[in-house]
Amino acid sequence: MTLARISLIVLVATFAAYAQTSATVKLGGNRHPLARPEFDRGPVSPEQPVDRIILVLARSAQQQAELDAFVAAQHDPGSPQYQRWLTPEEFGRRFGASDADIRRITDWLSAQGFQIDEVTPGRGSIVFSGTAGQVVSAFRTGIHRFSVNGEMHMANTDDPEIPEALAGVVAGIASLNDFHSQPALASFAAAASPDFTSGSSHYLAPADFATIYDAAPLYLGGIDGAGTSIAVVGRSNFRLTDAQAFRAQMGLTANSPTVILNGPNPGILSSGEQAEATLDVEWAGAIARRAAVKFVLSASTVSSDGVMLSAVYAVNHKVAPVITTSFSMCEALSGAAYATFWNNLWQQAAAQGITSLVASGDSGAAGCDPPSASNATNGPGVNVICSTPYSVCVGGTQFNDSATPALYWSASNGAGLASALSYIPEAVWNTSGTVTGGSALWASGGGVSSVFAKPSWQFGNGVPADSRRHVPDVAASSSPHDGYLIYMNGSFYSVAGTSTATPAWAGIMALVNQHNGGGQGNANPALYGLARLQASGGAAVFHDVVAGNNSVPGVGGFQAGPGYDQATGLGSPDAFQLVQHWKDANIPSTPSR
């Protein structure tokens, strides 16, 4: 008997076994909280395409325990496994689903009529496509339209079901809806001119950032990102000519970003989405000036956010040792499978030596409300994309320079539109209605995770003595008071939000990589270790932010104070000190209290 005939018999037997049993299990936490009956507007057409659904695969308890121990050892200088990073394929063989389990799942999906788009190299997810009718039949859930806040969305009506035989190897479906993440971009507006000032506000050019946060001395020593790379997660395209013009206007060397297209080209989605993509690409390469910037671009579908698809690609193809993601989804609106997806993906990234930086969001302590809201109504919340223990969550500060601007800014521009004179004292970024009497929630995202437990490395001065993960981890200027300059559609714009600080921090991590000879994985153990050293008299790698809070109308937030706080984390960087002293801390893998 031929091998092909044997395989066909096995396949038919597998399908028959599934057909003979009606035993199914529900995948709990896989229905979006806003897919509620009062918003329901009825089913979609069965022919509605539902493309690139992400099925999250489950690790066994033993696999998860071994992975947790292995990643901790990779980040412990005292371990023989220290910085022994894996390839995606090695990760998959050690900690991913087995060949047999993947075959069982893909056979079942194929039997339901779905197309298998990809089994990721890390074996943590399967991407597949089909129609709404096939989803309804296979997963025993309706696919309906929902009208929420004046917008029409598509989502599953119930938790999906799978055959009981697959329950141990499927963690959930990361998304069966189009309630996608939002850019962490609080505002963008046309800049009055490329000059340093507009009224009482100033614009930040890359040279200003380098002066304020002490990156300029690194450039003099040849630490400028050469030989390193940064991956930018995106879902809307940008104009390459804008990025090239930005570098020319800012006095940066020609170093065009590259676009890695993962599937159909979505084009430019909207002015806001274009601004996010343009900001992320231009500023990821603005601090690490000679780093290769790789923009991973995926189109969103009615079932999967392009942000998720781009992040999956960046990690599973190990595009770069630094990844920057400037999008937000609050924990309470995410669901269990969505949170598991991000936690698993960022843990895989850490095991591969990748540092994942994510914006904390722009609604202050009210992470479940949009930044544009005038009053928070959904209580406290944080961004689930950054609240996992395996990502560096980046919050926002605001320069405290209004009383004596001449101390910190020159009266004219220098090379690269530079005008900053020195470090500028900082407070928590908060331009919300609470502070200004305005009509928005604009403030640094931060607070306490309701999903993730406190990781072993999160301890030190100011860190609450509880069992929960706290965010953000670090911060940098994010306020419209001193907006970042970008070049878009042939003009300068001023942008603000934690989206600005995040790609800038990614550039700093690329400088760390260049100086220290490779990727650092999850940077948090080192960052918190350096903060503890600083508190005991070591190098001042952080500017400790002790003024302000991230309270917004409707939700009380967190006050900045000495050491760590849930508005600005450990503080903003002194890039020179951070890079030079990165390996100073002997960082244990468990806290010593």
Give the gyration radius of the chain's Cα atoms: 24
Residue among 319, 368, 347, 297 nearest 506 (CA)? 319
Indicate if the pLDDT at residue 186 is higher than 90.
no
C-alpha distance from residue 39 to each of 43, 212, 302, 570 (Å): 12, 49, 17, 41
pLDDT score, position 15? 43
pLDDT reading at 158 higher than 50: yes
Secondary structure (DSSP) of 445-512 = --EEEEEEEPPTT--STT--SSSEEEE-SEEEE--GGGPEEEEETTEEEEEESHHHHHHHHHHHHHHH
pLDDT category of residue 585 using cuts at 50, 70 and 90:
confident
The mean pLDDT of the chain is: 91
C-alpha closest to that of 308 among 174, 447, 130, 117: 174
- Tell me the domains of the chain and their CATH numbers: 3-58+97-179 (no CATH), 184-580 (3.40.50.200)
The pLDDT of residue 402: 83
For the cut 70, the answer to whether the pLDDT of residue 7 exceeds it is no
Amino acid 128: pLDDT: 97
Which positions ≥6 away from 49 have C-beta within 8 Å?
Answer: 129, 130, 131, 132, 301, 302
With a cut of 90, say whether residue 387 has pLDDT above it. yes
CA distances to 192, 206, 493 from 490, rounded to whole Å, are: 14, 18, 10
User: pLDDT tens digits for 75-91?
Assistant: 998 899 999 999 999 99
Q: Hey, is 552 helix, strand or coil?
A: strand
Decide if pLDDT at 59 tops 80. yes
Sequential DSSP letters for 239-289: -HHHHHHHHHHTTPPP---EEEE-SS------HHHHHHHHHHHHHHHHHST
